[in-house]
Amino acid sequence: MKKIIILIPVFNDWESLIKLLKEIDENIKDIKNISFKCLVVNDASTIKQPDLQKPKNISSLKILNMKTNKGHARCNAFGIRFINDNEKFDYIILMDGDGEDRPEEIKSLIDKIKQEPKKSVVAKRIKRSEGPFFQMLYKIHKLVTLLFTGKNINFGNYSCITKNDANILSTKASLWSSYSGSVKKNILYLNEVNSQRGIRYFGPSQMSFFKLLIHSFSIIAVFKYFVFLRSIIFILLFFLLKSYLGKILFLFIFLILLFNFLIFMTSLRESETELSKSQLNLKNITEITH
Query: Tell me, what's the pLDDT at 205?
Result: 66
- Residue among 60, 59, 65 nearest 14 (CA): 65
Instruction: Identify the weakest region by mean pLDDT among 18-32, 125-139, 241-255.
Output: 125-139
Compute the distance between CA of residue 218 and CA of residue 213 in angstroms, rounded to an integer: 8
Per-residue pLDDT tens for 215-263?
Answer: 899 999 999 999 999 999 999 998 888 888 888 889 999 999 999 999 9
Does 127 have pLDDT greater than 80? no
Its pTM stands at: 0.92
Compute the distance between CA of residue 139 and CA of residue 223 in angstroms, rounded to an integer: 19
Compute the distance between CA of residue 99 and CA of residue 21 in angstroms, rounded to an integer: 10
Over residues 15-44, mean pLDDT: 96
First to last CA, the chain: 23
All residues at 6 or more sequence positions from 246 whose CB lies less than 8 Å from its CB, including other chains: none
Percent of the chain's residues with pLDDT above 90: 77
Query: Tell me, what's the pLDDT at 167?
Result: 97
Over residues 67-78, mean pLDDT: 95
Compute the distance between CA of residue 154 and CA of residue 226 in angstroms, rounded to an integer: 18
Does 142 have pLDDT greater than 80? yes
Instruction: Identify the weakest region by mean pLDDT among 106-110, 132-136, 147-151.
Output: 132-136
Query: Tell me, what's the pLDDT at 131?
Result: 66
SS3 48: coil
The C-alpha angle 44, 47, 53, rounded to 5 degrees, equals 90
Over residues 127-145, mean pLDDT: 77
Q: How confident is the model at residue 34 (pLDDT cuts 50, 70, 90)?
A: very high
Query: Tell me, what's the pLDDT at 109?
Result: 97
Query: Tell me, what's the pLDDT at 185?
Result: 96
With beta carbons less than 8 A apart as the criterion, state whether 20 and 108 touch.
no
Does 129 have pLDDT greater than 60? no
Does 289 have pLDDT greater than 90? no
